[in-house]
Amino acid sequence: MKLKSALGGVFATVIGVGITCATTPLFAEKLKSPPKAVKQESAPTMPLQKQEHGVPIIRKSQFEQPRLTPPTLHSHKHPLPKQNTLHDSTQSKLKAAAPDYAECNFDQFGFESGSTLVNHIKSVDPVCTYGFFGQTTTSKNALSPANMTTVLNAARSAAVNYKGTNEEGMEQLFLYIRAGYYHVSTNYLPEYSAAHQSLVKALISDFSRNSHMYDSSDQHGESLYEFMILIQNVKETALGLPIAKRLIDNYNQTRSESYEQTAAVNGGLGVLYFGSFNDEYKAAVTADNSIIDSLFSFIRDKKWILDTNRAWLYNNSGSEFGRFLGIAGTKSRAKFLIKQLLPQLDLYSPVWLNIAAQIDYHTSSECGEYSNVCGYKEAAINQILPITNSCGSTLKMRVQEMTAAQMSGICSTLATQETYFHNRLNTGNNPVAGDLNEDLLMIIFNSDQDYKNYGGPLYGIPTNNGGYYLEGDPSDPDNQATFYAEEADWLLPEFKVWNLEHEYVHYLDGRFNMFGSFSAPTVKVVWWSEGLAEYISLKDDNQAAIDTIKDGSTYTLGQVLDTTYDGFVVDRIYRWGYLAVRFMFEKHPAEVTKYLNAARAGNWNTIQTLYDQWKSNYSSEFTQWTEALAAGGGGDNKPPVAVTDGPYTGNVGQGIAMSSNSSSDPDGTITSRNWNFGDGTSSTSSNPNHTYSAAGTYTVTLTVTDNDGATGTTTTTATITNGGTPDYCAATGGGSYEWIANVMVGNLNNSSGAAEYSDFTGQTANLIVGNNSATLTPGFQSSAYTEYWSVWIDFNQDGDFSGAGEQLINGQSSNAAINATLNIPASASGVTTRMRIAMKYNAAANSSCGDIGDGEVEDYTVSIAGGSNQAPISQANGPYSGAVNSAISFNSNGSSDSDGQITSYHWDFGDGSSSSSANPNHIYTSAGSYTATLTVTDDDGETGTDTGAVTVTDSGGGSNVPDACANENPVTGGRLVAGDAACLASQSVIWLSIPGVRDHNSIAITTGNGTGNLDIEYSNQGWPNGSNNDGSSSNAGNGECIYLTGGSQYWGYIKVSNSTGGASIVVDFDSAACR
């Protein structure tokens, strides 16, 4: 990740940012350890979870140990098996004590208030409440000021009655409150009031005075941890100071056996960190310095922690101990105790380095007063990272521990990646003007723990992440671009440097694509920087991005282009950045070229103009593309199979018909084709006709792309010779009793006498693509006999008539002239080639070559031009009849296209509703006579229309939609729950989704109540846009109905237009009709 940090003008990148700080700190100071410029209390802690570039995977027993950011829980970069994260004893305790939680229906929170909301929060697994941290309509509705007041009061009551076992839902209530204040810190929600803050203070007081406040159980530890993070989030660190002190003092070997208790103590260290930026806290700690003595004793007397898997907590305490040098009222006491403590610690141990880093940052001029602190970094680096290596002149390494083979493997991996990067982005290997970052230095630690132990104090980088990149000032000849990384020790015995490929793309992008330093762009480029790094390193294999489309965390193209690091919304930055970059590369590569040209020249205004154009031109397409990508299964999508139907042969200057008709996609459709003919020319036609200008053997490449963006490629050859007509096989008839007397094909009308074979290739029949009439007349010496006709055309011009589709008539018979139709494929357009006609007595010729027996063979030349398309035939069937509010089944059976295929259907039911299904079901809400109109469109864009009469009788029923607006807040968008009515807000357009469509036989969408005249549209393929609708309804008033069967995709998408408030909507599955 690229962290937009001032850092004295350097460009910082963070990979896989940890979860305790939900927003990434912006450092305004020169890069030192630790940074202090930004009020870190504005960055609240997210729920305990692990992040790989941010996708939250709940791991409540993994803790993180950062150096320059608040003490956080350690989070490996992988989902460890449960048995590797908890002691067996802890597992059994948690399992035995787990309450019987209610099912998680998170969306319901958005419709609740009062005691209903409180009871729901308390009843669910705490994991269910993590959804409140997402930027969704549900979380916004649920975290309203009124609801926050209700929950704070409920939390106060629960705090008073708390028994240490979470029976009161204390942990869930804390998480809800934290989420609200987290969204305030990211400006997603407005500030809560002073009255809210008073309730928060009272809650902190109530819970801290509970008799179970310092219990040592695992269950209490979970609530206690959330409480300590809540104190940070609500910026009441002064109130948290005495609580943090007592937790630190109480920590012992018994409590260390509990991850949850350890996490709570670490939360107390976080209170100290955030407090260092809070004036009330500074006043409190100045008045009472005893917390410094507590930390001194903790580090001096509890070295036994280093022999456990809680060493990270011990090391974290060193940072907070040394941080008191930065507060005027605590500096003296801290300095006195540090001087006593440092000689008692192992030189260059993590805790020693953390304290030394604070000395260097806050009082560097006084380093001589401490033993071995002045110049400690260089000496420690030489000891901890002793190995150096290089990959040619552009890559250098300094590593903690690595074999020669492993270092060689890194060089090989990055060399391959660099070649792919340059080819994919057409850099020409030319750096942007003024970029002097000729090499990259990689600092690689031996493990995740080593990275966290040493990255901060040695290099001043935050380590609550998966790696860190500093571009520096690329125009400075003395600058050194550096990537700080860790070996993925959790993958052992597999060797891997975590995020190596992703981060190397950042280096290449900065050097070859982006003019100037990271701060140079005056437009938003986060989507590009992070999206490109993901796209180049992962290519089309990014299931995490597919999953974020499916889980509803969707963004428009405009929102993605406007992405910043503010609030650090991981899905938006990484997943949707990837999707936008991939979309532009796949669908609009010419626009990517424009973007790169502007970025390499630093023409940021041009890029802003491109953004504006893309938002206007491609937003709907992007949404449809992402939904199609998700519907196809993303990483599970099977690529299409490209087939050329080659090899091909031909002559110079002669058109060769090529075909991709045998290409296929096993789980979707082929949406585009690209031919490269090997002579510098290409085509996007399905079946092109190509002419070569020189003899030789050419490699012909066909690439097909499916509806999920996957591609398939194959090659064949085209052998081109000088010389004229190919050598065709000889053919002849026999006898003189019958012969071909006349041939009328296209403009050709040729009469001839008896012969066994006649070469009429000097005569040309001009044909067109599509149907051509032919009249073939036999001649007889005496009596007429039954003659069988065969006609071949050498479409692929390979000198024979054995190619697919080259026999057009096979055995049509008569004792007189026959009238036949020659159907010429579109792939033959522009071809001039040979036609062979054979007439045989008593049976059809079984070959185009040799002696056919009694009859005659004639050859002609044909020249084929593009023909006119035949319109498809629409068959609406009918008449139809049914009752009001009951489904009527319509069908298009019999619709056809004589020279192609029907590609779309559109039904207009005559009541303002429509459908794009071939055989839809529709419900009429009023009795009467209607005309249903079916319009079909073929693959050439031609249409055919037919109508059917519909009679609807009054069933005596009517709308039965519950009035959700009577007791629920209106929704402005989001996810619907089947069977539950939702109140629609007053809004011009409301976008709604419904999951699980493909798991049911039918879906019924009904609206009613209120006043106004709303309309609804529905699609199972993506957001409705008028062209992809499966159904729509636009009756007078708010009574609308769409009823459909056979949805194939998981998600259904609904667009509500012109809602003026007061109307309700409900979705029902497997019903007989709308309500």
- Kindly state whether residues 1022 and 911 are assigned to the same domain: no
pLDDT at residue 232 is higher than 70 = yes
- Kindly state whether residues 907 and 932 are assigned to the same domain: yes
Can you tell me the distance from the alpha carbon of 1047 to that of 713, in angstroms, rounded to the nearest whole number?
32
Instruction: Determine the 3-state secondary structure of 97 from DSSP.
Output: helix
Long-range Cβ pairs for the range 253-259 (8 Å, 24+): 253/304, 254/216, 255/216, 256/305, 256/308, 256/310, 257/87, 257/89, 257/90, 258/90, 258/216, 258/217, 258/218, 258/221, 259/60, 259/61, 259/63, 259/86, 259/90, 259/218, 259/221
Residue 666 lies in a domain: no
Total H helices, total E strands in the chain: 26, 42
Question: How many residues in the chain?
Answer: 1075
Residue 1009 lies in a domain: yes
Range of lowest pLDDT (276-290, 372-386, 870-884, 1009-1023): 870-884
What is the distance, to the nearest Å, from the Cα of residue 67 to the centroid of all Cα atoms in its chain? Answer: 32
For the beta sheet containing 902-908, the strands, ordered from the edge strand earlier in sequence to the opposite edge, are 880-883, 943-953, 928-938, 902-908, 914-915, 1031-1033, 1015-1019, 1052-1060, 986-994, 973-975
Specify whether the CB–CB gap between 740 and 679 falls below 8 A. Answer: no
Task: Read off the pLDDT band of 59 (50, 70, 90).
Answer: very low
Task: Read off the pLDDT band of 84 (50, 70, 90).
Answer: very low
Widest pairwise Cα distance in the chain: 131
Q: Is 438 a catalytic residue?
A: no
pLDDT at residue 807 is higher than 90 = yes
pLDDT tens digits along 85-141 = 222 222 222 223 344 567 788 889 999 999 999 999 999 988 889 889 887 888 999
pLDDT at position 370: 93
pLDDT greater at residue 136 or residue 16: 136
Can you tell me the distance from the alpha carbon of 636 to that of 962, in angstroms, rounded to the nearest whole number?
40
Domain count, the chain: 5
- Kindly state whether residues 856 and 797 are assigned to the same domain: yes
Nearest to 196 by CA among 254, 150, 260: 150
Q: Which amino acid is at 712?
A: G
Residue 689 lies in a domain: no
Task: Read off the pLDDT band of 708 (50, 70, 90).
Answer: low
Can you tell me the distance from the alpha carbon of 402 to that of 404, in angstroms, rounded to the nearest whole number?
7
- CATH code for position 928: 2.60.40.10
Nearest to 669 by CA among 408, 934, 939: 939
pLDDT at position 235: 95
**E-strand spans in 756-879?**
757-768, 770-780, 787-793, 807-814, 818-824, 832-841, 850-865
pLDDT at position 100: 57
Q: How many CB atoms lie within 10 A of CB 413?
A: 16
pLDDT tens digits along 759-787 = 998 899 999 888 899 999 999 988 888 99
Residue 772 lies in a domain: yes
Can you tell me the distance from the alpha carbon of 651 to that of 655, in angstroms, rounded to the nearest whole number?
8
- Kindly state whether residues 911 and 998 are assigned to the same domain: no
Domain boundary among 906, 921, 953: 953
Radius of gyration of the chain from its Cα atoms, rounded to whole angstroms: 37
**E-strand spans in 537-622?**
none
pLDDT tens digits along 881-922 = 777 777 788 888 888 877 667 878 888 999 888 888 788 888
pLDDT at position 284: 96
- Kindly state whether residues 919 and 846 are assigned to the same domain: no
pLDDT greater at residue 426 or residue 57: 426
Close Cβ partners of 871 (under 8 Å, ≥ 6 residues apart): 938, 942, 943, 944
- Kindly state whether residues 908 and 817 are assigned to the same domain: no
Can you tell me the distance from the alpha carbon of 262 to that of 302, in angstroms, rounded to the nearest whole number?
14
pLDDT above 90 covers what percent of the chain? 43
Can you tell me the distance from the alpha carbon of 788 to that of 460, in angstroms, rounded to the nearest whole number?
91
Can you tell me the distance from the alpha carbon of 787 to that of 27, in angstroms, rounded to the nearest whole number?
93
pLDDT greater at residue 271 or residue 864: 271
Q: What is the mean pLDDT of the chain?
A: 82
Integer distance in angstroms from the first to the last C-alpha of the chain? 50
- Kindly state whether residues 854 and 770 are assigned to the same domain: yes
Instruction: Determine the 3-state secondary structure of 40 from DSSP.
Output: helix
> What is the value of pTM for the model shown?
0.52
Q: Which amino acid is at 414?
A: L
pLDDT at position 727: 78
pLDDT at residue 1050 is higher than 50 = yes
Task: Read off the pLDDT band of 959 (50, 70, 90).
Answer: low
Residue 517 lies in a domain: no
- Kindly state whether residues 895 and 790 are assigned to the same domain: no
- CATH code for position 772: 2.60.40.1930
Pick the catalytic residue from 41, 236, 503, 1017: 503
Residue 653 lies in a domain: no
For the beta sheet containing 648-651, the strands, ordered from the edge strand earlier in sequence to the opposite edge, are 648-651, 711-721, 696-706, 670-676, 682-683
- Kindly state whether residues 736 and 834 are assigned to the same domain: yes
Residue 543 lies in a domain: no
Residue 375, phi-psi category: left (phi > 0), alpha (psi -120 to 50), beta (remainder):
left
pLDDT at residue 1069 is higher than 80 = yes
Can you tell me the distance from the alpha carbon of 1025 to that of 1018, in angstroms, rounded to the nearest whole number?
9
pLDDT at position 83: 24
- Kindly state whether residues 968 and 949 are assigned to the same domain: no
pLDDT at residue 5 is higher than 50 = no
Can you tell me the distance from the alpha carbon of 1041 to that of 85, in angstroms, rounded to the nearest whole number?
52
Task: Read off the pLDDT band of 17 (50, 70, 90).
Answer: very low
Q: Which amino acid is at 369?
A: E
Instruction: Determine the 3-state secondary structure of 169 from DSSP.
Output: coil
Can you tell me the distance from the alpha carbon of 136 to that of 143, in angstroms, rounded to the nearest whole number?
11
Phi, psi of 221, rounded to the nearest 5 degrees: -60, -35
Handedness of CA 572, 577, 580, 586 (dihedral sign): negative
Can you tell me the distance from the alpha carbon of 208 to that of 210, in angstroms, rounded to the nearest whole number?
6
Phi, psi of 1070, rounded to the nearest 5 degrees: 55, 30
pLDDT at position 869: 67
Residue 171 lies in a domain: yes
Mean pLDDT of the region 336-355:
95
Range of the domain at 130: 101-234
**From residue 834, how far is each of 290, 681, 787, 797, 975 by CA, in Å?**
102, 27, 23, 8, 63
pLDDT greater at residue 912 or residue 305: 305
pLDDT at position 1025: 75
Q: Which two tokens stand for residue 158?
A: 């629960």
Mean pLDDT of the region 567-584:
89
Domain boundary among 196, 213, 234: 234
Task: Read off the pLDDT band of 258 (50, 70, 90).
Answer: very high
247 exposed, middle or buried (CB, 10 Å; 0-12, 13-18, 19+)? buried
- Kindly state whether residues 406 and 470 are assigned to the same domain: yes
Specify whether the CB–CB gap between 474 and 436 falls below 8 A. Answer: yes
- CATH code for position 462: 3.40.30.160
Domain boundary among 823, 842, 865: 865
- Kindly state whether residues 842 and 948 are assigned to the same domain: no
- CATH code for position 1021: 2.60.120.380
